[in-house]
A and B are shown apart, each in its own frame.
Chain A
Amino acid sequence: MRRLLSWIWPLLPLLCGFYIPVFIAVLDDVALGSIEVAFSSVVTSIPVIISTVILAISAAFLATLIGAVDALLISGVRGVTSGRLRFLWVPLLILTFTTPPAAVASAIQSTFGSSFLVAGVRDEFGALILLSLRWAPVALAILLGLSLTIPREQEWALRLLPPVKALKVRWQLQRNWRRACMLLLFLLMLPAAEIPSYAGIETISRRVMARLTVGDGLSGWILSAGLAGIVGPLLAWLMPGNQWWGRGLKTLSPAGLPTWKFASGWWILRVVPAISLILILIYTAWPRASEVELAKSEFLSALWDGIIEIQRALLVSVLSVLCCWRLAVAKRKWALWAWCLPTFLPASLLGLSLASTWGVHAPVFLDRIPWLLSLAHIVQLGALSALAGILAVSMIPEEEANAARFVKPEIACWRIFLPRSLPVLIPASIMGAILILGEVESTLLLAPPGHPSPALELHQLLHFRNDEQASRLALALIILSSGLTLLFSGVSLGRKGQR
């Protein structure tokens, strides 16, 4: 019994939060709709599927390129990112990812006017830039993690080479990782809906939404099945084969790395969007003399809402990450694959499935607790959690993994592997919590009345062009997310003196 429990618990949230409700919702919609009509409307959507794929591939390429240059310079060159204040760079470099897209839209709208938002960021190019900047930090995190954990001997050998030659070799070393990273980003961008909606671009997720607004759930499911048809096999290909353990190497200090004069120029270029975003929001949010009290209360109330919400977000994120990490320790590749799929389903479909399946049977006293929303968020983070689990396990040296076989599996898991995995699991959980803080689609469908959601409120304000209030909300969200990343990077980078 105990063995069965330990086998099944990492799958329980996934089954309850995704596969069971989705299965029931699909059956309901098949019973209600006409498959023939749904298929015919899907056929007409083929051009949209193609254009979404092209957009996602282009954005994944650009984001990977930016992240790869970041990773190359951090791992191969001494400079501001390896100086005393290096912990300050982490929040700045990942700010475009940790800031909810609505906050970015708010900043663009308040500075250049709403006509710029639609006229300047409205087409495929605008969507491409916004998507690339948003996802580049993820490419940075993946490629940097891999770049910093190459064998020590290899690293020392690289440091002995002339600086430019060393950078070229490091760039070549990244090649396979870049390919895998680009593929992963492509998959993560395929279901994008929010950013393309600011740019007025049609994507598969927007088409699914359009179907749902007239109660045509079946077409939505068929379109999503088409999406899964692309994502599923590629994900399976990305899953680790036999090599689960083994990178397991301590990173070296920056001492011995060369300096390179062009690096500073790149870093200035990289932090310009983040700093501009913050300055714009501060400028817009700054109240006139007559509005100081009102502005203060709006800002503090948004901050407080965010603080309350981030507790739940952290809990949810930790649970999701732990489930996937446990599966990775047990090398259950297909279970991890199954955890990844919910991330690629449009969040609205998931939210509606949960509401119609579990919501109707839940006791009344649960109505005021965001348990359904939390379940949705746990499974929505699936791909991030699976990636964190796989990376965490791959950082454990093979010798340690082999030695751990001599103790009971549960003790090995929780007393040996878990502490060794925390350097990956903690940042992944923080990242997950920040993502939840900016999520709106399932929040709108599943949050209990009165549940604080600054991101949703920001969405509602954007339409009305209440730029000042929107900026205060956006700023509160950025302070919360940056505070978390700063805390983590300060603790992990500032104290140890190691990268």
Chain B
Amino acid sequence: MSILVRVLLISVVFFLSSCQSDTKPSVTIYCAHDRVHAEQILDLFEAETGIRVDAIFDTEANKTVGLAERLRAERERPRCDVHWSNEPLRSVRLSHEGLFRKMPSDLGAAIPEMWKDKSGLWCGFAGRVRVLAVQPTSPAGEWTGPVSMKQLTEDQWLGKVALADPRFGTTGSHLAIIRSIEGKESYLNLLEGLQMNDVQLVSSNSASRDRVLAGEAWIGVTDTDDIEVVRRRGESIGEVFLSTDGDVLLPNVIALVKGSPNPTEGEILARWLLSSRVEELLAASSSRQVPLIPGTSVPVGGLSIEDLDPLVIDWDDAADALPAAIQEAERYLLDR
């Protein structure tokens, strides 16, 4: 018994000592971008500025309730200074809820206005594009010419299209954008068509891509970064842009949290992240992000904004459409 008590006491001391912090200036970031890349960037910031970065990274959206919910729960006394989201609509919703503060005007000054909030509550940078992963040896591999989401409801793709759970991540955002641009009726027709065409619903964008790799689906609706990851591992997979609809480019988003504990350090970090240099790092990484600042260099095999035809999106409208889009998708695709 006395041994047990001693062990517990030692554990308490050890545990409390591990919780102590130093007095260096610090900044807290909630980061939804892939940890592998974001951690390197944040380490670089720490090394250059001497400001310690306390980061909490998100998990893949459908495995847990994400950091956006944590921000909501902490709204009365935030712990986070900077929110780095990897898709814009949920950030826009948080900004509507009053969680973010106005950013200084020089933050992300080089980024075009179409990727920023009109009221200056958030700013987009380096993004990824919604694309179709296609099986090169299937009929979809011979696809030429413009492509749209509506074509996925055609008979020839019956049972051969994979789509990630529409309630999470970029798939939910993509559907909300379609609903916001094309209207409810057209959106419901698309959902009905997908459902009638026996679309394969999978847990995530990477799972959608993997169905294509396994040959079970010919087409997987996914993001450019998911395709690049497996290409760099030597897999053969095709990539088709939704050029008829216009390229749905979903930027990363930086926002400063209202009432955060380290506002000055938060601004320094946000300014650093919204630089051309960070966009270059992200473009060169295996997440192959598309830089938004004109003139940012893109490595060979990377994606440049000049090569794309990005859809002009009303972010506020699309964010407002998100809950309805998700519930309708759930009703049509999951509950039937």
Contacts and interface: CB of A to CB of B under 8 A. Distances in A.
A202 B202 CA distance: 10
Interface in B302-336: 322-323, 326-327, 330-331, 334-335
A449 B15 contact: no
Interface in A442-464: 444-445, 447-450, 456-457, 459-464
Contacts of A202: 334
A396 to B, nearest CB: 16
Contacts of A370: 19
A369 B19 CA distance: 6
B210 A368 contact: no
B57 interface: yes
Given A210-B330, A315-B8, A315-B11, A464 B59 contact: no
Given A202-B334, A348-B64, A370-B19, A359 B59 contact: no
B58 interface: yes
B293 interface: no
A197 interface: yes
A210 B167 contact: yes
Contact of B216 (A119, A194, A311, A318): A119
B66 interface: yes
A189 to B, nearest CB: 17
B70 A355 contact: yes
Contact of A197 (B34, B69, B203, B214): B203
Contacts of B55: 449
A440 B15 contact: no
Interface stretch (A173-181, A213-221, A328-336, A398-406): A213-221
Given A216-B323, A314-B11, A352 B60 contact: no
A44 B335 contact: yes
A369 B167 CA distance: 33
Interface stretch (A3-11, A83-91, A110-118): A110-118
Nearest to B286: A464
B67 interface: yes
Interface string A452-484: 000011011111111000000000000000000
B335 A445 contact: no
Contact of A348 (B54, B69, B326): B69
Contacts of B34: 460, 463-464
Contacts of B54: 449-450
Given A206-B62, A355-B70, A444-B67, A115 B12 contact: no
Interface of A is mostly: helix
A460 B59 contact: yes
Contacts of A233: none
B1 to A, nearest CB: 6
A125 to B, nearest CB: 15
B64 A419 contact: no
Nearest to B90: A213
Contact of B202 (A118, A214, A355, A441): A118
Nearest to B10: A311
B214 A118 contact: yes
Contact of A463 (B16, B204, B327): B204
B207 interface: yes
Given A114-B210, A360-B76, A445 B70 contact: yes
Interface of B: 1, 4, 8, 11-12, 14-16, 18-21, 28, 34-36, 54-70, 72-74, 76-77, 79, 90, 93, 97, 165, 167-168, 172, 201-204, 206-207, 210-211, 213-214, 216, 229-230, 233, 261, 322-323, 326-327, 330-331, 334-335
Given A118-B202, A311-B11, A463-B206, 18 more contacts: A114-B210, A114-B213, A115-B213, A118-B210, A210-B165, A210-B168, A212-B69, A308-B15, A351-B65, A360-B76, A362-B77, A419-B1, A450-B21, A459-B63, A460-B34, A463-B60, A464-B34, A464-B36
Interface of A: 41, 44-45, 47-48, 113-119, 122, 193-194, 197-200, 202, 206, 209-210, 212-216, 308, 311-312, 314-315, 318, 348, 351-352, 355-356, 359-362, 364, 367-370, 418-419, 422, 440-441, 444-445, 447-450, 456-457, 459-466
23 contacts: A115-B213, A115-B214, A118-B210, A213-B68, A213-B168, A214-B323, A215-B69, A315-B12, A351-B73, A355-B74, A356-B76, A364-B261, A368-B19, A441-B64, A444-B59, A444-B66, A447-B56, A449-B28, A450-B21, A456-B57, A460-B60, A464-B34, A465-B229
